[in-house]
Structure 1
Amino acid sequence: MTSIPDADVTRTAKSWTLGTSPWQTIPAAGAPRARVIIDNDFSGDPDDLYQLVHHLLSPNVDIRLVVASHLRDGDPFDSGPDTADNATLVVRDVFARMGLSSTEVIVTGSNRPLADRATPQPAEAVEAIVAEAMRDDDTPLFFVAGGGLTDLASAYLVEPRIAERLTVIWIGGLEHAGLAVPPPDAMPIEYNLLIDLVAGQVVFNDSDLTIWQVPRDVYRQCLVSDAELRIRVAAAGPVGRYLYDETALVVERATGEGRGPAETYALGDSPLVLLTALRSLFEADPSSSRYVGMPTPALADDGTYVAVPDARPMRTYTWVDTRLMFEDFYLKLQEFSAWQQDDTP
């Protein structure tokens, strides 16, 4: 239920472009070590806004595209019908609030899920994903997704060779037997997978894409307290207050429905930043988080896993370093806010 703007907000007095970090008093050293395509359902749960802002403030990644993707029809966060278009409006709004002029990276995904496992859904984002993946650049490319997988699956169906040229990091999927158990009263098909189960089957069952998965039990670890959000986010300038207010709307709604209040909120999309921008200096990897390796399972029609013993290997994260992830976000937001509100040219 992220607020959908009627029009772009007024751009701030200070502007900047991707690839620069004018708010850093000590400039970042060196060039980005990875390219990133961000794909998220930005008109849904506002945890994706935190992930987007955090990624935009992280100089170690070269953000090539921001894909605004759809929710499922009738989703309680945004019932649609054109939720990818709504997501695009939200992203443009965030860029304007931050004074970020690099709007050329924003692309709109399909408003509809896949109809079957052989037919891509055409969209501006699909063409852009294929073009970036096939571009002549040896810098590692991560496709990071915090929602459904429609546009990635469509890009693979259009050009299967992209599987050799990127790593998929996906927030989604059920718990794995032997690693975790479902939460109380859990959705039988995990929320992000339910957005487009067919697309998930293309990515898991039919493709040879390399997957790093952050399943439901792990993204639910990413809890922050209301005190943290009030003191470390809401007080950090206009952008911070915007982020806080968006989560507060969800808490208020959940409380009215008898599911709240709670002193915590799950910023479940933030591992997308942790696993790309916050990798180790030596032997680059998200070394402060833990995962298990397993053959990539197939996804059944009910969203459960089907073991495929000889399948390509997959990382399934079991624990993520929330200290590093959130402390880095709070400090970057504070540093950016101080620069944005400073009257010095």
Structure 2
Amino acid sequence: MTRIPSSDAFAPIAPHWRLGETPWQAITTPGGSRVRVILDNDFSGDPDDLFQLVHHVLSPNTDIRLVIASHLRDGDPFDPGPASATNARTVARDVFARMGLLSEELIVAGAEHGLRERGNGLPGPAVDAIIAEALREDTDQPLYYLAGGGLTDLASALLIEPRIAERMTLVWIGGNEHEDLAVPPPGGMPIEYNLLIDPIAGQVVFTDTEVEIWQIPRNIYRQCLVSHAELRLRVAPCGELGRYLYDETQLVIDRATEQGRGPAETYALGDSPLVLLSALQSTFEADPSSSDHVVRPTPALDPDGRYIDRPDARPMRIYTRVDTRLMFEDMFLKLQEFTRWHAGS
């Protein structure tokens, strides 16, 4: 439901900057980047991904190599298509322009629809870029593939070039609850929202590849609530960018209220763990040490999203708690710091 700009001819708001620079910091974050990341999200859908995108580009410990604007399922109420990936790219470019960020060449539209069959990937510029980044030999920084929507483009890349599986870690917001860890929410969709975007891609990634997975299933990303008071007092006052983020969430709240599902004094920023688990790792024994997970053999996925045990499969992480205090306080402060600089320069 994120509003799609009527034009994609964006003029970045001054002052201008590029990824890798931090001109808003009076005291520079030490050390620079420590991990490479590929961001993959459906930016024309739920505006929680806008918060994740802004937070990530303000997090200098991550070297953002690629931003993939991915599709939603056909008929999705947020953006019914048929060009939701193109729309997502337009939204992401608009966010960069609102921030004065001159790195829009990193934004690539992914496939406009899901996989049609399990054995064949969908070639395209996003897939080519994923493969090229994963196969780089000129860096030893770990590569995280951070996905807040469906898995079409990653699945295609893994099918076309299987070697990349051992060269990255997938952090994915999605998938049903694991039966012994949590129960579905009241009235929850039988197949979790992000998995339903492309169930075949989910089967490919879980079952047919060897890529390492860190999963944030539905019961965990539903923990990522901010209050309406926080949105009013800590986001909306942060200049034009903050007001934009606030207004996009308020559109969804108003629509939900009209449909009889509200009002509520909270909003779920469910994609924000992508920042927490990549940018906010511990200094010593680098890891997302403030959050909890279990390690289990990676299950297979059946077509309805259920997990099938595979005792001999590769291990994966299933997160059972995320550190929302660290995650959201860091976001609020970075947004405030950036806004002061951008407004005063």
TM-score interval, smaller chain: over 0.9
1:179 aligns with 181
Offset at residue 246 of structure 1 (A)? 0.2
The letter for the 2-side match of 1:29 is P
| C-alpha distance in structure 2 between counterparts of 1:144 and 1:74, whole Å | 25
| C-alpha distance in structure 1 between counterparts of 2:227 and 2:29, whole Å | 30
CA deviation string 1:137-195 (max 9, x = no partner): 21000000000000000000110000110000000000001110100001000000000
Corresponding residue SS for 1:287: coil
| C-alpha distance in structure 2 between counterparts of 1:246 and 1:123, whole Å | 30
Is the contact made by 1:220 and 1:266 (CA closer than 8 Å) also made in structure 2? yes
Offset at residue 124 of structure 1 (A)? 1.1
| C-alpha distance in structure 1 between counterparts of 2:341 and 2:280, whole Å | 22
| C-alpha distance in structure 1 between counterparts of 2:44 and 2:104, whole Å | 18
Corresponding residue SS for 1:147: coil
Is the contact made by 1:112 and 1:121 (CA closer than 8 Å) also made in structure 2? no
1:306 aligns with 308
Is the contact made by 1:88 and 1:107 (CA closer than 8 Å) also made in structure 2? yes
Taking structure 2 as the reference length, the TM-score comes to: 0.99
Query: Is 2:3 aligned against 1:3?
Result: yes
2:136 aligns with 135
| C-alpha distance in structure 1 between counterparts of 2:214 and 2:14, whole Å | 39
Offset at residue 256 of structure 1 (A)? 0.6
User: Which consecutive unaligned segments of at least 5 residues does structure 1 have?
Assistant: none
2:236 aligns with 234
2:190 to 173, 188, 191: 188
Mapping of 1:230-269 within 5 angstroms?
A: 230-269=232-271
The letter for the 1-side match of 2:83 is D
CA deviation string 1:59-82 (max 9, x = no partner): 000000000000000000000111
User: Which consecutive unaligned segments of at least 5 residues does structure 2 have?
Assistant: none
CA deviation string 1:246-303 (max 9, x = no partner): 0000000011111011000000000000000000000000000000000000001111
Offset at residue 10 of structure 1 (A)? 3.7
1:36 aligns with 37
1:292 aligns with 294
Is the contact made by 1:166 and 1:210 (CA closer than 8 Å) also made in structure 2? yes
Is the contact made by 1:144 and 1:169 (CA closer than 8 Å) also made in structure 2? yes
Aligned residues: 343
| C-alpha distance in structure 2 between counterparts of 1:189 and 1:9, whole Å | 37
Is the contact made by 1:108 and 1:123 (CA closer than 8 Å) also made in structure 2? no
CA RMSD of superposed structures (Å): 0.7
Corresponding residue SS for 1:144: strand
Query: Is 2:49 aligned against 1:64?
Result: no
Query: Is 2:278 aligned against 1:279?
Result: no
Corresponding residue SS for 1:217: helix
| C-alpha distance in structure 2 between counterparts of 1:259 and 1:31, whole Å | 44
1:160 to 159, 162, 167: 162
Is the contact made by 2:20 and 2:60 (CA closer than 8 Å) also made in structure 1? yes
Query: Is 2:104 aligned against 1:103?
Result: yes
Taking structure 1 as the reference length, the TM-score comes to: 0.99
Offset at residue 28 of structure 1 (A)? 1.6
1:207 aligns with 209
2:326 aligns with 324
| C-alpha distance in structure 2 between counterparts of 1:267 and 1:11, whole Å | 26
| C-alpha distance in structure 2 between counterparts of 1:13 and 1:306, whole Å | 52
Is the contact made by 1:68 and 1:84 (CA closer than 8 Å) also made in structure 2? yes
Is the contact made by 1:133 and 1:165 (CA closer than 8 Å) also made in structure 2? yes
Offset at residue 11 of structure 1 (A)? 2.1
| C-alpha distance in structure 2 between counterparts of 1:43 and 1:271, whole Å | 19
The letter for the 2-side match of 1:161 is R
Corresponding residue SS for 2:179: coil
Offset at residue 9 of structure 1 (A)? 4.5
Is the contact made by 1:67 and 1:106 (CA closer than 8 Å) also made in structure 2? yes
Corresponding residue SS for 1:341: helix
- Once the two structures are aligned, what percentage of the paired residues are identical? 68
| C-alpha distance in structure 2 between counterparts of 1:13 and 1:273, whole Å | 26
Corresponding residue SS for 2:215: strand
| C-alpha distance in structure 2 between counterparts of 1:151 and 1:10, whole Å | 29
Offset at residue 31 of structure 1 (A)? 2.3
Mapping of 1:116-131 within 5 angstroms?
A: 116-131=117-132
| C-alpha distance in structure 1 between counterparts of 2:36 and 2:144, whole Å | 6
Is the contact made by 1:126 and 1:154 (CA closer than 8 Å) also made in structure 2? yes
| C-alpha distance in structure 2 between counterparts of 1:225 and 1:180, whole Å | 23
The letter for the 2-side match of 1:85 is T
1:169 aligns with 171
